[in-house]
Structure 1
Amino acid sequence: MQCGVVMEELAVEVLARREVMALVEVARMEPQAWPDVGDPGSVEEIREAFGRRCWVQYMPHPAGAIEVRETGWVG
């Protein structure tokens, strides 16, 4: 039975990673579409994007790149 539990945890981790990576791609394609959550007066533009069960905090860079600062998973 323990093997089943480990496999279930691995499956959840794989699904979480896929959903986070999909959200990162959405944020990268249109980084300005998500709210800026940086502190007032900050020189960094920090944004957050939200999926159904995950979120990503990132900083947009020129040429379509984003720097992922943090990710989270609900569940």
Structure 2
Amino acid sequence: MRYGVVAEELASEVLADLSAEAQREALQLAELAHADPRAWPDVRDPGSIEEIREAFGARCWIQYMPHNGAIEVREIGWAG
């Protein structure tokens, strides 16, 4: 992915299987999350020390973890 956005292996595999349009939307959403990572809801389990957030677009969503100026995308979903 782009600078400041890292994808876990599963998220990379999902992204590779999406159409070009879906990939663009998912990458744009990741860039929005990277620009302001704490603007999206924290969905971590109670007691978890990992900060996990979810961002939603028109037809996709991502689950990510903020890391010192970057985000790690853990999951990508597509409803289009």
State if a TM-score over 0.5 links the two structures: yes
The aligned residue for residue 67 of structure 1 is 72
Q: How many angstroms does 1:24 deviate by?
A: 0.1
- 1:67 aligned counterpart, secondary structure: strand
SS in 1 for 2:41: coil
Q: What residue is the counterpart of 1:14 in the other structure? A: 20
Q: TM-score, normalised to structure 2's length?
A: 0.76
Give the superposed CA RMSD: 0.9
Using the alignment, how far apart are the partners of 2:39 and 2:46 within structure 1? 19
Percent of aligned positions that are identical: 67
SS at match of 2:31: helix
TM-score of the pair, normalised by structure 1: 0.81
Q: Distance in 2 between matches of 1:16 and 1:39?
A: 29
1:26 equivalent in structure 2: 32
Higher strand share goes to which structure? 2
Q: Which has the larger radius of gyration?
A: 1
| Greater relative contact order, per chain length (Cα 8 Å cut-off, separation 6+) | 2
Structure 1 residue ranges without an equivalent (≥5) = 1-11
Say whether 1:46 aligns with 2:52. yes
> Deviating runs (4+, > 3 A) in structure 1?
none
Kindly tell me the number of residue pairs found equivalent between the two proteins.
Answer: 63
